Chain A
Amino acid sequence: MVVDHETPSLENGQTDKEVEENANVLQFMDSMDAYLTLIHSLSSTLRRGWLELASARHSMGASRVNTVLLDHTSHPAATSLLVTQDEGKVDSGKPHFTLCKWESSSNENSLLGEKQSSQDKLHPQLRHRGSTELYEEKTSSDNKASREVDDPVQKERSKSLSMFGTLVSPKLRAAQLSFEAALETLVEIANMRSEMLCAFDQVNMKLEGRKDEK
Chain B
Amino acid sequence: MYGFEAMTFNIHGGYLEAIVRGHRAGLLTATDYNNLCQCETLDDIKMHLSATEYGPYLQNEPSPLHTTTIVEKCTLKLVDEYKHMLCQATEPLSTFLEYITYGHMIDNVVLIVTGTLHERDVQELLEKCHPLGMFDSIATLAVAQNMRELYRLVLVDTPLAPYFSECITSEDLDDMNIEIMRNTLYKAYLEDFYKFCQKLGGATAEIMSDLLAFEADRRAVNITINSIGTELTRDDRRKLYSNFGLLYPYGHEELAVCEDIDQVRGAMEKYPPYQSIFSKLSYGESQMLDKAFYEEEVKRLCLAFEQQIKGAGDKEPDVDL
Contact = CB atoms under 8 A, between A and B. Distances in A.
A64 interface: yes
A95 interface: no
A163 B232 contact: no
A63 interface: yes
Contact of B118 (A62, A73, A154, A168): A73
A66 B128 contact: yes
A23 B73 CA distance: 61
Nearest to A169: B226
A10 interface: no
Interface in A57-106: 58-59, 61-64, 66, 68-73
A165 B182 contact: yes
B226 A72 contact: no
Q: Which of B124, B182, B232, B287 has the most CB of A within 10 A?
A: B287
A72 B116 CA distance: 10
Contacts of B287: 55, 170-171, 174
A68 B128 contact: yes
Interface string B90-115: 00000000000000000110110011
Q: Which of B108, B182, B231, B290 has the most CB of A within 10 A?
A: B290
A170 B289 CA distance: 11
Interface in A34-74: 55, 58-59, 61-64, 66, 68-73
Given A63-B111, A64-B107, A166-B176, A72 B290 contact: no
Interface in B274-299: 286-287, 290
Interface size class of B (residues with CB under 8 A): 20 to 34
A158 interface: yes
Contacts of B232: 166-167
B178 A165 contact: yes
A69 B223 contact: no
A162 interface: yes
Interface string A160-190: 0011011111110010000000000000000
Given A68-B124, A167-B230, A174-B287, A63 B118 contact: no
A71 B117 CA distance: 8
Contacts of A69: 111, 114-115, 118, 120
B179 interface: yes
A163 B174 CA distance: 10
Interface in B187-230: 222-223, 225-227, 229-230
Contacts of B231: 166
B129 interface: yes
Interface string A139-162: 000000000000000100010001
Contact of A165 (B71, B124, B175, B286): B175
A167 B229 CA distance: 10
Given A62-B71, A63-B129, A158-B230, A165 B225 contact: no
26 contacts: A58-B290, A62-B128, A62-B130, A63-B128, A63-B130, A66-B128, A68-B111, A68-B115, A68-B128, A69-B111, A71-B118, A71-B119, A73-B118, A158-B230, A163-B114, A163-B118, A163-B175, A165-B182, A166-B175, A166-B176, A166-B231, A167-B232, A169-B290, A170-B286, A171-B290, A174-B287
Q: Which 10 A-B residue pairings sit nearest by Cβ, starting from the closest?
A: A167-B226, A162-B175, A63-B107, A166-B179, A71-B118, A72-B119, A59-B290, A63-B111, A68-B128, A73-B119
Interface of B: 71, 107-108, 110-111, 114-115, 118-120, 124-125, 128-130, 175-176, 178-179, 182-183, 222-223, 225-227, 229-232, 286-287, 290
